[in-house]
């Protein structure tokens, strides 16, 4: 498996857990995402973007660049992902995809869902929160006791099951407009199952980190 970290422009908290998650991965920075490279001890193999929000030009010195036009149909993050896939990526970790501008965070969540539906392994992590698109079936997620989590819906959901939480569910169908899946609390590892629908699990990485 070839795991790539995609550095995006959103805020991060460079915790030991985040540094461990990116250790040993190949990296591509999208525009202002380059500023996360040093704190995560990463040297991206490519810095891609229109550079409309890039930091001081001295940052990223020596890293190969691909300059994109400012007016384009795809985001810098999408094109960074495409570059990683062209280099053989089979697993993607999006860092800096959460927080910051709400429209950027929303776009990154949609992109994560799209890549997951294309059969790619993808995760979002900013040091504070981790995110995973939910696929049909059951999956176990490591979670600290007391960690807050939410399931963000992007469609109606069928057969949603949540085990290991303060507020469990058992094969429940939920309309898109329901907010029942917001602000739950892990009692330990979570088991989440889904029959059909589009959703993302957002999990507090460490209850002690604020």
Facing residues of 193 across strands?
138, 161
Residue 209 in any domain: the answer is no
| Inter-residue contact 4 to 82 (CB < 8 Å) | no
**Predicted pLDDT of residue 210:** 53
For 179-197, what is each residue's pLDDT tens digit? 999 999 999 999 999 999 9
Whether residue 53 is predicted with pLDDT greater than 80 in this model: the reply is no
- Tell me, yes or no, whether 117 and 29 share the same domain: yes
Choose one of 66, 98, 128: the last residue of a domain: 128
Q: Name the band, by pLDDT with cuts 50, 70 and 90, for residue 142.
A: very high
Quote the pLDDT of residue 139. 96
**Shared domain check, 20 and 119:** yes
Please compute, for residue 162, the number of CA atoms within 13 A of its CA located in the half-sphere on the CB side.
24
Q: Categorize the per-residue pLDDT at 60 as very low, low, confident or very high, splitting at 50, 70 and 90.
A: low
Which one has a higher pLDDT value, 53 or 97?
A: 97
Confidence at residue 98, expressed as pLDDT on a 0 to 100 scale: 94
pLDDT at 96: 97
Q: Kindly report which listed range (50-54, 125-129, 132-136, 158-162) carries the lowest average pLDDT score.
A: 50-54
Same structural domain, 124 and 155:
no
Which among 78, 95, 70 has a CA at the least distance from the CA of 19?
Answer: 95
Confidence bin at 209 (pLDDT 50/70/90): low
Same domain? For 114 and 165 the reply is no
**Which domain CATH number covers 33?**
3.40.50.10240
Yes or no: say if 40 and 25 are a contact pair by the CB < 8 Å rule.
no
Domain containing 33 equals 3-128
**Residues 81 and 113 occupy one common structural domain:** yes
Same domain, 56 and 153: no
For residue 187, is it within any domain?
yes
Tell me: do 116 and 18 sit in the same domain: yes
The answer to whether residues 40 and 90 belong to one domain is: yes
CA 18 to chain centre: 12
When pLDDT is cut at 50, 70 and 90, the band that residue 66 belongs to is confident
Confidence band of 205 (pLDDT split at 50, 70, 90): confident
Does 58 share its domain with 83? yes
Overall number of domains in the chain:
2
Q: What is the pLDDT of residues 87-140, one digit of tens each?
A: 999 999 999 999 888 999 999 999 999 999 999 999 999 999 999 999 999 999
Per-chain mean pLDDT for the chain: 92
Domain boundary among 128, 153, 181: 128
**pLDDT the model gives residue 172:** 97
Q: Same domain, yes or no, for 26 and 117?
A: yes
Residue 68: predicted pLDDT: 78
Regarding whether 78 and 51 lie in a shared domain, the answer is yes
Pair 112, 141 in one domain = no
CATH number of the domain where residue 149 is located: 2.60.120.320
From 128, 153, 168, the end of a domain falls on 128
């Amino acid at each position: 498996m070839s795991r790539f970290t995609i550095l995006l422009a959103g805020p991060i908290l460079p915790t030991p857990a985040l540094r461990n998650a990116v250790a040993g991965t190949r990296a591509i920075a999208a525009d202002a995402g380059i500023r996360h490279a040093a704190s995560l001890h990463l040297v991206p193999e490519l810095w891609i973007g229109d550079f409309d929000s890039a930091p001081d030009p001295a940052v990223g010195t020596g890293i190969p660049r691909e300059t994109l036009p400012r007016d384009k149909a795809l985001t810098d993050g999408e094109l960074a992902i495409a570059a990683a896939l062209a280099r053989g990526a089979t697993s993607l970790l999006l860092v800096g995809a959460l927080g910051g501008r709400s429209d950027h965070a929303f776009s990154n969540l949609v992109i994560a869902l799209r890549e997951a539906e294309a059969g790619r392994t993808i995760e979002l992590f900013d040091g504070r929160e981790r995110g995973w698109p939910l696929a049909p079936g059951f999956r176990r997620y490591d979670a600290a006791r007391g960690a807050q989590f939410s399931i963000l819906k992007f469609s109606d959901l069928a057969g949603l099951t949540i085990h290991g939480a303060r507020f469990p569910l058992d094969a429940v169908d939920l309309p898109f407009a329901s907010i029942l899946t917001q602000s739950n609390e892990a009692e330990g590892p979570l088991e989440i199952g889904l029959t059909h629908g589009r959703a993302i699990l957002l999990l507090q990485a460490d209850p002690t980190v604020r």
